[in-house]
Each structure stands twice: as C-alpha cells, then as structure tokens.
C-alpha cells in the first residue's frame, strides 16, 4: 500500500511540474460549511457528512491550494466520512489545483465533487478525484478545459472510481466532453448512473454504451437523441461500492419519493427521456429489468401493446406532456409490480376498459389535465390495491355507477376537481375506506337533492359506513369520529333543496350520509330563500329525535350568503318567517325586485340603492314590506299604498321633510327605519303608530320648543326605539347631545324684542357697506380661490385654459411615501375618481416588477400634472424626491410652470432639509395647503384647465399597464407554457397554495409550482431554471426573513437576469405580513430599494397583482417543448 502511495506522489510531482497556471494568480477562496444530512450507512451505522463550499469570486484564471482545503476538513483516520467538495466560481474561469503532489490519499473518505462555472484540467481533476476517493462527480453550468488533441491517459484512476456522473449545461459538445473526461487506454468505466441535461450537440448512445457497460440509470434532459434509445443493456443489478447502503434520509429521496421499492444497497434501474425531440414510440426500445421509466416533453401521440412487452420489474411509469391521444388495450398488462402510473398533461380523450387489467399492484393513477369525457364501465374495478385516483382538469360530465372501484378497501383519495360534473356521483359513497373525494370547481349544485337521495342504493352505502358487519353492536346512525371529506369548494352548490313529501328511504339515506360524510362547501353561494325550509324542518326533526346535538359541523359551517339581511347566518338556524322567494308580477316598480314572504302572504319590494329621488307612485296591492334604503329620497310624502305597508325601511337617504299627516292612516306599519337621514323634526302624528321597531339615529335633530314633545315621547317609548342613546339633538349654544338627557329648559325658541326693531335696519345698512368692502378686498386677494369656487359651483372655467397633449391620458399622478398612503387614498384618489378624473397613485397603480424610476418616468410622461406629497418619510429618503423632480423638469421648462404641484404634511423644520432646487420651486410657485378647505377644489380646478379631449371614454377605462414604456410586452407570452412560476419557502407554502394560487387559477392563469409540477426524478436546480424560462412571470413570495436559502437565491438571480434581458417585469416580488426588515442578500436588498414590489397587507393587493402580470395567454401547449429539470444523482 505504501509503495503505491509513493508511486502516486512521484506522478503528482511530475504533473505539478508540467501543469502550471499561466497567470500565476492564486484564487481568492471563501470556505463555508456545506451542511447536508447523512447520505450513506455502513454496517447499519450512518456515515457522517463533512462538506465545504469553496466559493471562488476571482474573475481570471487562478490556482487553488488543494492541500489547505483538504486539511481544513480535518478528516478522521479511524472511521469513514463523506467529504463533499462544492466548488462555485462566480465567473467562467479555469481553476488549477496546486500542491496535489503533497496531498495524502484519503483512504477513509468517500468523495463527492461538484463544480459550478469552474473549468479544470482533466488530468488534474483525475488526480484530485483519486486523492479524495471520490464516487460522485457533478458539473453544473460551464465547461472544462482540455487540449485540442489529448492523448489517452494510462490509468484514469480517479475517474475509474466514479460511479455517479451528472453533467448539466456543458458548453462543449456533450459527446466530446464525455470522451475527454473518460479518456483512458482501458475505455470502460464503472459508472452506474449518468444524468445529462441541457446538452450541446446530440447524444450518441453507442459511445455511452461502450464506455459504461454496467450502466443502471440513464437520464437525458433537454438533449437531442439520434436514432433509437435502447435501454438497459446491463442485465445484472449493481450494488453500491464499499458495502455502502443509503441512509434512511437518502433512501426516502432516492426511492420512496419516486414511489420505488428497492433495497438501499443497489442502484435503481431507470430510463428518463425529457425534451429529446423523440417523435414516436419507435424511438424507444426497452428490455430486461427496468424499475423506473419516464418520458416527457416529446411527441408520442400513440403507444401500443408492444412498448413494455419485453420489460420486467417496472414499478413507475411517467408519460407526460407528449401529446398522447391513444393507448392500446393491453399496453400495461403483465406489469405486476407497477405501483405508480402518471399520464397527466396529455390529450387522452378515451381509455379502453381493459387498459388496467393485469396490473394488480397499481396504487396511484394520475390522469389529470387530459381531455377525458366519458369513463368506461369497470375501468378501475379490478384495481384492488389503489390508494389514489387523480382525474382533475378533464372534461368529465358524468361518472356512472360502474366506473369506480366500489369494492375497494384501499382507495383513500379521489380527485375530480375542475371537471364539468353536474350530478354528484353517488358511487363515491359506496367506497368503504375512502377518506377524501375532491370535487372542487365543478358544476354540482344539489338542485334536486330529493332525486339524488332516492337514487342512492342503501345496501352498499350501509356496507361502506358500517365499521363491522359481523358485530351486533354496529350502529350506522352513530355520528362518526373521523369524517369522510366531500370537498365541493368553488362549485355551484346554492343550497340543499328537498321536497316536502320526500320518501322515508331518502330521509334515512340523508341521515346516514350526514352522519359519516363532511361536505365542505366553501366559496359556494348558499341562498336562504323559502326553498330551504323543507330541508331545515327535516334537520330540526332529526335534532328533536336526538340524532343531532347541534354541535355538528353543518350547524356552524354552512352560512347564508344571500339574501343580504341573512348574510352570515347559519343555514340551519333560518326560520320560515324569515324567508321569502322571488316572484314576477306586473305591478312591481321599475328598477325594483319583488318577493313574497309566504308565511305572512306579504309582498316585499326591494328598491335598495337604485337611485330613487322619491317614493314610487304605484306598488302591488297586497300587504307590503318596502326596502328603500340607500337612495336619494329627500321628502316623505303620502302614497295610497302606504296603508298596506308593514315595514318601511328608509335608512341612508337624504330625507329632510316628512308630511305632517302621513302617519295617520298607517295602521299596519310595525317597523319604521329613518336613520342616517337629514331630519331636524318629526311630525307629532308618529304618536298614533303602533310600532314594534323605530330607528332614528344619525339625524341632525334640533333641540328647540318644537321638539320638547319629541323627547318626552321617546322616553315613553324607550323599548321600541333602536339605539336610543344614538339619537342626538343640537341646541343653539351647544353641539349634539343625547336628546333624552338634554334638560327641558334648553328646548327654547327665541322671541324678537323692541331693540331688534330699531337696530336691525342700521345694522343691515352698515353690514352692506362692510360686505361690499370686504368682497372687493377678497376678490383681489383670493382671486384663485374665487376662480376655483366659480368652477366648483357653476362649472364656469373662463380662465387658464390650455391645450391638451394627446399623450397625457392621466389627469394626475400622485407621488408619496408609505406614511401618507391612507391620506392619499381617502382624501385624494377616491374623491377625484368619483369626479371622473383619471388618477395614478404610487401606492395603487405603480406596476410591480418595474423599477421605481421606470414607473415615475412613464407616469410623468402620460400625466397632465404631478402632485408631490412631502412627508417625514419622503424627506428622509430623498431618492423619490430627486427622481420625481428630475423627470418633471422637461415639462416644467416648456410653458408648464404649474405641472408639478407640491403639498406638505411634514413639520416645517423638516422642509428646510429639502434639496435647494425643490425649496426654490416651492418659493416660486403657489403651494397647496392640504389642510385648507379648498385643497381638493383647487386640485379639481387645476385638473380641468385643459380643453376637453375626445378620448375621455378611453381615459375612464384606463388600464395602467398602458403607462409603461414597454410597448411590446405581450410578445413574451407567445412561447411560454406557463403564465406564472411561483417560488416560496415552507413558511409561505400555506398562504400560496390555499389562498393566492387558487384565486389566480380561477382567473385562468396557468401556474407552475415546485410542489405540483416538478416530476419525480427531475434535477431540482435545472427544473427551477427552466420553469423561470418557460413562464411569463416569476412570482417570488417571501416573508422577508434576514436570509434566504440557496434555492430561493438561485430563483431570484435567474428571474432578475431574465427581467433585465427581456426588459419587462418578469420578476414580481410579494412580501407577506408587511415586514420591512431588509434582507441580508445584497441583490435582494437592492431590489427592495429600487423596484416596486407587492405587500399582501395592501387592500388593493390582488388587483395590483393582476395589473402587474400579463393576461393569461391561451396557447396550444401541444406544440411547445418546455425543458424539464435533470434528476437527482443517487449517490
């Protein structure tokens, strides 16, 4: 052994003499721990990992002192260790390994070598692999140095030890690279698995077969393949080297995550073909033992019965995104170890009824995102080991009773989401151990629940829910402890409607179902009209019979959404007298809706918020409940139909006057609501009413001699007044007080005296003179305010008219800091938009993903005026000020002196810290006082200082994406398979998957997430990079922690690189919980300072997100080849 080491050292000395780095530069290196769970075990004991990340920021060719790096590891000599050497170069440079000749061979080490962007000399690398006893060799992005004419090496001892190779994004021709790497007199190597991704050139499997005769795994991703792929060629399984076994952690990643069941001490036998320009089944031939087969992003429209004829031991088959339409009747027959079958994202319209015969071990079937319409009888009936069936996102309108495996005792999950199902598949109820059936976003409505219940066969239903049919103690009417979930989220369930005379069989079936199944009906629109009463009565009978306790989920979870007055109430708490139903009658007033309350035979007339200025002239002739709130009625005058009114609801109008005798004949009136109006007095005739409820709050009642009776009347009727303490009145000398607590002596009216008869004429004359003088002075001093008032009150605008630039489609852009967002929204944006102005505010309308500078520049270009809000935060961070002032300069110079408007809400002392240009501008131009009463009117006047444009209609419907300088943005979606790619960590997963992503999917956006679109066996970093390239936008969701993991940083760098290259807002950052602590990473920190991002606490968050992202692009994905990732290495 020592003799061999001496020989190797001599060779090292010779090589180090010859191979020198031309530049003589020593690489700047940063050594950081590279933490990773244990990968292997020996004799049932896990082997510890010792990893280092060797970061090389140097931009020129340099050399690394390998001895120092190995010494830094401090490997023990008495036990095995896995040494992980992860070299990361910031630039594509050649790295030479110095002092290899003095490095000791690490006999107790199992080496793992990974390089990113680092080029190397093959012979130096071979020696390094030999010294570190490496078994795994990985190149990610880059190439390697090699002479143009390289002679074959005598030994290749380092590369001879390698058993797992991963080559990704190699810039050289891939086959030349492989031949240069594995270049020995003895051309065969011990490589057991090779993973190749993003190739340059074509794959020649003949060369691969010659060099690696014992290959167990072949994975080709984004690599063109010439000829026919034949695999595997090795007949025997291969064990891991050095008697190693995978650790439990590695076994879970390597085997269990792919649904494979293989021993931990052998390599998996796998063939993966992704995006290889394969055009048909004829280009793939398999024979012998193969455990995992995947083909994706190719073009295979049909597979027949011969594809798997000569294959043994298949456990997993993944055939996705290949445009598959037809499958043979016996394609999978005989694969008795097949447990996982994934055929998602194809164009399958029909499946033969025998396609799943003779596959007895099948546990998982995924057929989502196809064009399936009808499922044949007994399609799944023979699959006794099934755990999950996924049929979501197809075109299935009906599932007949013979399709599902109703006799299965293993099936746990059934997914039928996003199918046009109309009728609930009752056979779901017969599957004994089914835990969850997902029927989200279907057309199921339960509109005829009686017919559905009568259709249910009681025998299989009872067998399904009965814990044990052999026990005399079984009780199917015992409420379950473990609900079976029927998830109907986002479907069309409007209620549970049954007939009054529903038969006994249907009643008992409904009771059994509700005892064992939990119906989740979120995001449906439950209506609580009269047609729910039969169901509620039946449920009440069940409660009285002690079948229900009142604590079951449906008593609290099922809530009314319509009608408005019952919104939020429990469906099962609604009583008959509370409900009504819509009717169509000829004398229902225009703009109103009419209903009938059957219990009382009363007609309800709903005229809420329809813009009425007075009471309608006619009404139906029956007893009435009138709902007239939220209109513009100013006077309450008598109408003949008021004699039939039981409820008169007039809240939130502008009523100032009530006819004195209007209440004389309203004998049926029981509820009167006059709150939130402008009443100062109430006629005494109200005393004759026999009311149950009266609401008078929020009216400006006056405390004078005419309302003293009103106070006493209120005190006599305390119990019928709603919110009596909020009924206030105003006296001459005091502001509002609760009317019942105002002393009687303060209810007075002033009488005129003799003094008033003499002094009034003199005072009047003097006042006229003074007024004329004051008016003259005010006309001069406040001429601007006068012009503003003339416009506001009379629409006169005889002054300051200017010509309109046709590009200026925005009336006003408001630039402000975050501390003034509430002020801007409430005091400026909302009032001005209600007046018909087109307003662009920084908080609401800046497009996320573009820089602040780009947004300001575009907004200024398209605006007639810019309003700058000075605040503490704005002045502290002068960047926003400087950008705004700089962009406005050009328009301010071209006869637009008042283009930039400025208002200040910061302390005066802070204004003194402004830059000199802005201080000078404020001194020379009229400064708007935001606290002044005419602040909004002045802005309105300024904004109307232009001749009207013919494009006003267009301006009203302004899409703020038009403000961007990017005019050809939409072209970037043409070749994208996905609209959005989401990146998030485990902290944000729940928010993204259960809140944000479902909302966007309902808007028809095509979304890619790592959780659902990265297939088993794919290489993670390549998957991420390719997902970024194949998506219109990358949505980067973060809680803004101080640090980010490597995957998040990788996604961010890829996305920001595409943003800069394509010149549009590809990357959009979403901040959760509104945290503002800056991230630790420099690139991300700069992004948060320079770019517009979104905050989920923003009340306009979702609308801003939709504005920022491109509209979903409906394209035919069958003609689009999207690159997928490369699989993880096994060792």
Look up the CATH number of the domain holding residue 896.
3.40.50.10140
Collapsed DSSP state (helix, strand, coil) of residue 975? coil
Task: Report the first-to-last Cα separation within the chain, whole angstroms.
Answer: 27
Please tell me whether residues 1039 and 905 are part of one structural domain: no
**pLDDT tens column, 728-757:** 888 766 667 888 888 877 777 766 555 555
Residue 945 lies in a domain: yes
- Cβ–Cβ under 8 Å, residues 524 and 494: yes
Q: Please tell me which residue, 11 or 999, carries the higher pLDDT value.
A: 999
Q: What distance in Å separates the CA atoms of residue 815 and residue 817, rounded to the nearest whole number? A: 7
Please tell me whether residues 758 and 671 are part of one structural domain: no
- Cβ–Cβ under 8 Å, residues 202 and 226: yes
Q: What distance in Å separates the CA atoms of residue 936 and residue 1004, rounded to the nearest whole number? A: 40
Please tell me whether residues 775 and 661 are part of one structural domain: no
DSSP 851: B
Residue 135 lies in a domain: yes
Please tell me whether residues 675 and 541 are part of one structural domain: no
Kindly tell me the sign of the dihedral angle through the C-alpha atoms of 467, 473, 477, 480: negative
Query: If you count them, how many residues does the chain have?
Result: 1131
DSSP H or E stretch at residue 184: none
Torsion from C-alpha of 30, 35, 36, 40, nearest 10 degrees: 90
Q: Which of 118-132, 337-351, 908-922, 1112-1126 ranks highest by mean pLDDT?
A: 337-351
pLDDT of 577 > 50? The answer is yes
Q: What is the 3-state secondary structure (H, E, C) of 681-727?
A: CCCHHHHHCCCCEEECCCCCEECCCCCHHHHHHHHHCHHHEECHHHC
Cis amide prior to 634 (ω within 30 degrees): no
Residue 1027 pLDDT:
86
Please tell me whether residues 1064 and 1023 are part of one structural domain: yes
- Cβ–Cβ under 8 Å, residues 270 and 291: yes
What is the phi/psi pair of residue 327, to 5°? -130, 135
Collapsed DSSP state (helix, strand, coil) of residue 164? strand
pLDDT of 968 > 60? The answer is no
- Give the confidence band of 878 by pLDDT, cuts at 50, 70, 90: confident
Q: What distance in Å separates the CA atoms of residue 577 and residue 559, rounded to the nearest whole number? A: 18
Residue 350 lies in a domain: no
Residue 1123 pLDDT:
32
**pLDDT tens column, 236-266:** 999 999 899 999 999 999 999 999 999 999 9
Torsion from C-alpha of 52, 58, 61, 64, nearest 10 degrees: -30
Residue 540 pLDDT:
93
Nearest to 867 by CA among 835, 907, 823, 908: 823
**pLDDT tens column, 750-805:** 665 555 555 666 767 777 888 887 777 766 655 556 665 665 555 555 555 556 67
- Give the confidence band of 4 by pLDDT, cuts at 50, 70, 90: very low
What is the phi/psi pair of residue 388, to 5°? -150, 140
- Of 256-270, 648-662, 978-992, least confident by mean pLDDT is 978-992
pLDDT of 1046 > 80? The answer is no
Q: Please tell me which residue, 1126 or 485, carries the higher pLDDT value.
A: 485
Q: Please tell me which residue, 611 or 97, carries the higher pLDDT value.
A: 611
Residue 10 lies in a domain: yes
Enter the tokens of residue 325: 């339409």
Residue 1129 pLDDT:
37
Across the range 58-62, mean pLDDT stands at: 92
Give percent above pLDDT 90 in the chain: 44
Enter the tokens of residue 830: 């909302």
- Cβ–Cβ under 8 Å, residues 4 and 34: no
Residue 686 pLDDT:
92
Collapsed DSSP state (helix, strand, coil) of residue 1118? helix
pLDDT of 480 > 50? The answer is yes
Residue 1120 pLDDT:
32
In sequence order, which ranges of 223-281 are alpha helices (DSSP H)? 248-254
How many CA atoms lie less than 13 Å away from 322 in the CB half-sphere?
27
Collapsed DSSP state (helix, strand, coil) of residue 898? coil
pLDDT of 85 > 80? The answer is yes
Please tell me whether residues 1013 and 1081 are part of one structural domain: yes
In terms of phi and psi (left: phi > 0; alpha: psi -120 to 50; beta: otherwise), the region of 633 is beta
Diameter over CA atoms, the chain: 134
Across the range 324-331, mean pLDDT stands at: 94
Residue 221 lies in a domain: yes
Enter the tokens of residue 75: 């490997």
Torsion from C-alpha of 684, 688, 694, 700, nearest 10 degrees: 0
Please tell me whether residues 224 and 120 are part of one structural domain: yes
Please tell me whether residues 931 and 1050 are part of one structural domain: no
**pLDDT tens column, 798-843:** 555 556 677 788 888 999 888 888 888 888 888 888 888 889 988 8
Please tell me whether residues 638 and 563 are part of one structural domain: no
Q: Tokens 């059957």 label which residue?
A: 598
Q: What is the 3-state secondary structure (H, E, C) of 467-502?
A: CCCCCCCCCCCCCCCCCEEEECCCCCCCCCCCCCCC
Domain boundary among 230, 245, 277: 277
What is the phi/psi pair of residue 391, to 5°? -120, 20
Residue 943 pLDDT:
80
- Of 73-87, 92-106, 202-216, 716-730, least confident by mean pLDDT is 92-106
Q: Count up the domains in the chain and report the number.
A: 8
Kindly tell me the sign of the dihedral angle through the C-alpha atoms of 217, 168, 230, 278: positive
Average pLDDT, the chain: 84
- Of 121-125, 651-655, 975-979, least confident by mean pLDDT is 975-979
Enter the tokens of residue 122: 């093959």
Domain boundary among 668, 699, 730: 699
- Cβ–Cβ under 8 Å, residues 898 and 864: no
Residue 150 pLDDT:
55
Residue 575 CB neighbour total at 10 angstroms: 11
- Give the confidence band of 999 by pLDDT, cuts at 50, 70, 90: confident
**pLDDT tens column, 591-641:** 999 999 998 899 999 999 999 999 999 999 999 999 999 999 999 999 999
Look up the CATH number of the domain holding residue 629.
3.80.10.10
DSSP letters spanning 342-365: E--SS------TTTTTT-TT--EE
Q: What distance in Å separates the CA atoms of residue 765 and residue 769, rounded to the nearest whole number? A: 7
pLDDT of 526 > 50? The answer is yes
Collapsed DSSP state (helix, strand, coil) of residue 983? strand
pLDDT of 148 > 70? The answer is no
**Angle at CA of residue 562, ends 646 and 648, nearest 5°:** 20
Residue 188 lies in a domain: yes
Please tell me whether residues 69 and 206 are part of one structural domain: yes
Residue 970 CB neighbour total at 10 angstroms: 14
Across the range 1002-1011, mean pLDDT stands at: 85
Enter the tokens of residue 1073: 């919980």
Domain boundary among 919, 940, 963: 963
Residue 629 lies in a domain: yes
Please tell me whether residues 216 and 110 are part of one structural domain: yes
Q: Residue 263 CA to chain centroid, in angstroms?
A: 40
pLDDT of 1017 > 60? The answer is no
Segments of 180-331 assigned E as strands: 193-197, 202-203, 217-221, 224-225, 229-231, 245-246, 270-274, 284-286, 288-289, 292-296, 302-303, 311-312, 316-320, 326-327
Residue 539 lies in a domain: yes
Please tell me whether residues 888 and 1011 are part of one structural domain: no
Segments forming the whole domain that contains residue 554? 533-576
């Amino acid at each position: 052994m020592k003799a061999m080491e001496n020989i190797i050292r001599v060779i090292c000395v010779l090589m180090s003499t010859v191979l020198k780095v031309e530049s003589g530069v020593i690489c700047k290196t940063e050594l950081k721990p590279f933490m990773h769970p244990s990968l292997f075990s020996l004799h049932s004991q896990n082997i510890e990992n010792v990893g280092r990340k060797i970061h090389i920021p140097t931009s020129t060719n340099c050399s690394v002192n390998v001895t120092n790096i190995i010494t830094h590891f401090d490997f023990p000599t008495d036990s095995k260790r896995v040494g992980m050497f992860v070299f990361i170069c910031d630039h594509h440079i050649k790295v030479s390994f110095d002092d290899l000749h003095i490095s000791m061979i690490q006999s107790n080490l199992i080496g793992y070598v990974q390089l990113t962007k680092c080029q190397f000399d093959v012979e130096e690398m071979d020696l390094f692999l030999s010294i570190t006893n490496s078994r795994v060799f990985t190149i990610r992005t880059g190439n390697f140095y090699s002479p143009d004419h390289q002679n074959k090496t005598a030994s290749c001892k380092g590369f001879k030890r390698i058993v797992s190779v991963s080559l990704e994004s190699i810039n050289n021709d891939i086959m030349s690279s492989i031949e240069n790497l594995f270049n020995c007199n003895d051309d065969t190597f011990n490589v057991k698995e090779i993973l190749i991704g993003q190739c340059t050139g074509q794959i020649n499997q003949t060369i691969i077969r010659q060099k690696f005769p014992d290959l167990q795994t072949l994975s080709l991703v984004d690599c063109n393949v010439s000829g026919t792929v034949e695999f595997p060629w090795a007949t025997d399984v291969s064990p891991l080297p050095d008697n190693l076994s995978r650790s439990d952690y590695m076994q879970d990643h390597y085997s269990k995550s792919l649904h494979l069941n293989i021993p931990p001490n052998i390599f998996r036998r796998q063939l993966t073909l992704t995006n290889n320009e394969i055009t048909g089944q004829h280009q793939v031939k398999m024979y012998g033992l193969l455990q995992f087969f995947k083909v994706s992003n190719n073009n295979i429209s049909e597979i027949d019965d011969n594809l798997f004829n000569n294959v043994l031991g298949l456990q997993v088959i993944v055939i996705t995104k290949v445009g598959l339409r037809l499958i043979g009747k016996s394609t999978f027959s005989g694969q008795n170890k097949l447990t996982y079958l994934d055929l998602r994202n194809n164009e399958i319209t029909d499946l033969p009824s025998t396609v799943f015969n003779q596959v007895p071990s099948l546990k998982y079937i995924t057929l989502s995102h196809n064009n399936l319409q009808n499922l044949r009888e007994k399609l799944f009936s023979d699959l006794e080991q099934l755990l999950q069936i996924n049929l979501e996102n197809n075109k299935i309108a009906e599932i007949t009773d013979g399709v599902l495996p109703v006799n299965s005792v293993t099936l746990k999950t059934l997914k039928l989401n996003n199918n046009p199902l109309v009728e609930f598949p009752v056979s779901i109820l017969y599957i004994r151990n089914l835990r969850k059936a997902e029927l989200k976003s279907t057309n199921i409505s339960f509109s005829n629940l009686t017919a559905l219940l009568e259709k249910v066969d009681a025998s299989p239903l009872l067998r399904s829910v009965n814990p044990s049919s052999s026990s005399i103690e079984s009780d199917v009417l015992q409420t379950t402890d473990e609900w079976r979930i029927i998830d109907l989220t986002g479907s069309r369930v409007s209620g549970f409607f049954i007939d009054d005379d529903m038969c006994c069989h249907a009643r008992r079936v409904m009771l059994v179902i509700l005892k064992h199944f939990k119906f989740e009906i979120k995001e449906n629109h439950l209506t609580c009209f009269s047609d729910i009463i039969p169901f509620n009565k039946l449920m009440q009978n069940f409660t009285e019979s002690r079948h229900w306790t009142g604590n079951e989920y449906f008593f609290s979870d099922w809530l009314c959404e319509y009608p408005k007055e019952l919104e939020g109430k429990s469906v099962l708490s609604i009583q008959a007298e509370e409900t009504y139903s819509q009717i169509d009658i000829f004398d229902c007033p225009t703009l109103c809706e009419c209903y009938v309350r059957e219990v009382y035979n009363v007609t309800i007339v709903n005229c809420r918020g329809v813009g009425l200025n007075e009471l309608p002239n006619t009404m139906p002739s029956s007893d009435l409940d009138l709902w007239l709130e939220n209109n513009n009625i100013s006077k309450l005058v008598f109408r003949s139909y008021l004699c039939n009114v039981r409820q008169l609801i007039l809240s939130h109008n502008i009523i100032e006057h009530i006819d004195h005798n209007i209440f004389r004949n309203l004998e049926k009136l029981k509820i009167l609501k006059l709150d939130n109006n402008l009443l100062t007095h109430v006629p005494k005739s109200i005393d004759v009413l026999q009311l149950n409820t009266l609401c008078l709050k929020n009216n400006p009642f006056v405390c004078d001699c005419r309302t003293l009776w009103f106070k006493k009347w209120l005190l006599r009727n305390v119990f019928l007044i709603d919110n009596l303490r909020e009924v206030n009145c105003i006296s001459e000398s005091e502001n509002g007080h609760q009317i019942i607590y105002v002393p009687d002596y303060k209810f007075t009216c002033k009488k005129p005296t003799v003094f008033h008869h003499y002094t009034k004429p003199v005072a009047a004359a003097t006042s006229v003179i003074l007024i004329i003088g004051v008016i003259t002075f005010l006309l001069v001093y406040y001429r601007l305010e006068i012009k503003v008032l003339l416009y506001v009150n009379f629409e006169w605008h005889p002054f300051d008219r200017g010509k309109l630039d046709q590009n200026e489609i925005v009336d006003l852009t408001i630039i402000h800091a975050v501390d003034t967002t509430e002020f801007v929204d409430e005091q400026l944006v909302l009032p001005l938009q209600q007046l018909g102005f087109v307003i662009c505010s920084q908080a609401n309308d800046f497009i996320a993903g573009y820089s602040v500078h780009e947004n300001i520049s575009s907004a200024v270009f398209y605006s007639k005026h810019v309003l700058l809000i000075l605040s503490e935060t704005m002045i502290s961070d002068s960047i926003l000020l400087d950008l705004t002032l700089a962009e406005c300069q050009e328009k301010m110079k071209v006869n637009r002196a008042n283009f930039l408007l400025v208002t200040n809400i910061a302390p005066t002392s802070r204004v003194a810290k402004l830059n000199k240009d802005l201080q000078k501008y404020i001194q020379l131009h009229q400064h708007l006082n935001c606290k002044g009463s005419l602040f909004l009117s002045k802005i309105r006047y300024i904004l109307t200082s232009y001749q009207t444009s013919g494009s006003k209609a267009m301006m009203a419907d302004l899409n703020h994406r038009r403000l961007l300088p990017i005019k050809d943005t939409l072209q970037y979606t043409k070749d994208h398979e996905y609209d959005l790619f989401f990146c998030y960590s485990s902290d944000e997963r729940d928010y993204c998957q259960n809140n944000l992503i479902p909302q966007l999917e309902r808007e028809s956006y095509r979304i890619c997430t790592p959780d659902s679109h990265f297939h088993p066996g794919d290489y993670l970093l390549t998957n991420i990079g390719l997902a970024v390239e194949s998506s219109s936008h990358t949505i980067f969701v973060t809680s803004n922690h101080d640090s980010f993991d490597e995957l998040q940083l990788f996604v961010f760098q890829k996305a920001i690189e595409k943003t800069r290259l394509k010149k549009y807002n590809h990357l959009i950052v979403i901040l959760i919980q509104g945290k503002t602590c800056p991230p630790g990473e420099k690139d991300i920190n700069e992004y948060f300072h320079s770019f517009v991002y979104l905050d989920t606490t923003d009340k306009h968050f979702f609308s801003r997100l939709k504005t920022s992202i491109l509209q979903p692009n409906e394209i035919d994905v069958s003609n689009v080849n999207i690159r997928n990732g490369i699989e993880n290495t096994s060792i």
